A and B are shown apart, each in its own frame.
Chain A
Amino acid sequence: MIVVDSITKSFSGNVVLDNFSSKFEPGRINLIIGRSGSGKTMTIKCMLGLHQVDCGSIYFDNRNFISLSERDRKKIRKEIGMVFQGSALFDSMTVSENVMFPLTMSSKMTKDKMIERVNFCLNRVDLKNVNDLYPSELSGGMQKRVAIARAIALNPKYLFCDEPNSGLDPATAKVIDNLLKEITYEYKITTVINTHDMNSVVDIGDRIIYIEEGRKKWEGDKKTFLETDDKELHYFKSFSKLFTK
């Protein structure tokens, strides 16, 4: 379980994340939704220590990430998988080298075991015969899937995805959503996903956190989300056909 306790982040006086607290439970998909620029990416990056927070704490199963040394953080980081908004594949490496990279860096597997694991992960995201291609030779959706394969290579306990299906056609988006759902339930991963896609909310969200201008405005499970007529959410929901009768 990840517990975020009132974190605040500002850039030269401009507050982009304001006193954000929440809990993320294992085996569930936690969605962070909000409009573009509302601070979804910032929330995830602060949780991962990519941006230093001004104040607050973040606990990964009772280990306070903020107060740990870099060496101890590394232990937690080995348990984390992250899919970036722009995939962030290493463009000097082939697909299989990308997926193998976390294995070479922080596991003691033999070469054969690694290759086996790489093929397993690529299979899991429905990619075949692309092992020797470079990221620039793949389509956006394929890159996203390679990024997911890389993120799950080390069997993470915590999985973060920043807009995993933005810029994808609805069919591919659905494939990716289903994939994330399956692996979350299968391996009891604590999954945190940023999205502004209402289809994803309906399809895979177990818990939903709505943020606006860096502040948490609403939080609850999917059923409540669909039924509520909370006025904070109303504005956001009003843009989706799914909610306008």
Chain B
Amino acid sequence: MYFLTAIGQYIIFLKKIFSRLEGSKILFPKILDEINDLGMSSIGFVSFISIFVGAVVTLQVAYNMENPLLPTYLIGLASRDSLILEFSPTMISLVLAGKIGSHIASSIGTMRVTEQIDALEVMGINSASFLVFPKICATIFINPFLIILSIALGLVGGWLAGNITGICPTEEYLLGIKYEFIPFNMAYAIIKTIIFAFIITTVCAFFGYNIKGGALEVGQASTKGVVYTSIFIIICNYFITHLLLN
């Protein structure tokens, strides 16, 4: 019952975000700010994770292909596909749910408990669209770049790991990551990322926006936001994959 009410409230919240939008003169600078705030600040973090994940993926693939009949370049190929299809879009989105999602929930939640949202409403501003719409635009725009960066750095990490350990020499690895490349896989990764970006922003904003109480509830809301975002992402991941890769 609680769940159904929450879904209903979430849909009403979405409707509020997309109604009575402010003019582009006000929204555009805000979107740029959010890109900086939510996207740029995640570059270092995403890069660091991606390099290591790429390295680990390569080592694991190699570990599973001990059969000498299998050509070595398959290590590069398998690493590439797991990075593009799953590790970068899904795992990095989950990581971003923790980083930017909790930031969104707690910053909007703080505005709620300190009456800043009421102050916006008194000025005749649709607070939901004013606060959340620019964040949606920013993450939908910037997250695909983060994911592309993550894929690229993941491949670099895999190459480094293969080279350092000597399990996959450079030529074999390069051959592998170019072998029978399917461009649609990239499209699939980007579509997933965009949908996940939308989920991260709106679900976390929803929990922050509807806080009742004080500082303690701000913490709880950001935890809840991240948990539900992750669940949503995992479920959507299944359905998107089912739809796009079948």
Contact = CB atoms under 8 A, between A and B. Distances in A.
A85 B124 contact: no
B123 A71 contact: no
Interface size class of chain A, counting residues whose CB lies under 8 Å from the partner chain = 20 to 34
A73 B121 CA distance: 10
A88 B123 contact: no
Contacts of B122: 48, 50, 77, 80, 82
A80 B115 CA distance: 16
Interface string A41-58: 000010011100000000
Contact of B119 (A70, A82, A104, A106): A82
Interface in B28-57: none
A232 interface: no
B125 interface: yes
Interface of B: 20, 22, 26, 110-111, 114-116, 118-119, 121-126
B118 to A, nearest CB: 5
A91 interface: yes
A104 B26 contact: yes
Task: Identify the 3 closest CB pairs spanning chains A and B, nearest first.
Answer: A77-B124, A74-B124, A88-B115
Contact of B126 (A70, A91, A102): A70
A91 B117 CA distance: 12
Interface of A: 45, 48-50, 70-71, 73-78, 80, 82, 84-86, 88-91, 101-102, 104-106
Contacts of B114: 86, 88, 91
Contact of B116 (A70, A78, A88): A88
Nearest to A102: B123
A82 B125 CA distance: 14
Tell me which of A49, A70, A76 has the highest count of chain B C-beta atoms within 10 A of its own C-beta. A70
Contacts of A86: 114-115
Contacts of A104: 26
A91 B22 CA distance: 21
Contacts of B111: 90
Given A71-B20, A78-B123, A84-B118, 19 more contacts: A45-B118, A48-B122, A50-B121, A50-B122, A70-B20, A70-B126, A76-B124, A80-B122, A82-B119, A86-B114, A86-B115, A88-B115, A88-B118, A88-B119, A91-B110, A91-B114, A91-B116, A105-B22, A105-B124
Nearest to A160: B122
Contacts of B126: 70
A204 to B, nearest CB: 22
26 contacts: A48-B121, A48-B122, A50-B122, A70-B20, A70-B126, A74-B124, A76-B124, A77-B122, A77-B123, A77-B124, A78-B123, A82-B119, A86-B114, A86-B115, A89-B116, A90-B111, A90-B116, A90-B119, A91-B114, A91-B116, A102-B123, A104-B26, A105-B26, A105-B124, A106-B123, A106-B124
B213 to A, nearest CB: 14
Contacts of A85: 115
A50 B118 contact: yes
Contacts of A102: 123
Contacts of B116: 88-91
A100 to B, nearest CB: 12
A48 B115 CA distance: 13
A117 B223 CA distance: 42
A173 B115 CA distance: 22
Tell me which of A76, A82, A88 has the highest count of chain B C-beta atoms within 10 A of its own C-beta. A88
A105 B119 contact: no
Contacts of A74: 124
Tell me which of B110, B124, B125, B126 has the highest count of chain A C-beta atoms within 10 A of its own C-beta. B124
Nearest to A41: B115
A76 to B, nearest CB: 8
A51 B196 CA distance: 33
A105 B115 contact: no
Contacts of A88: 114-116, 118-119
Contacts of A84: 115, 118-119
A49 B124 CA distance: 10
A89 B117 CA distance: 10
A223 to B, nearest CB: 33
Nearest to B116: A88
Contacts of B110: 91
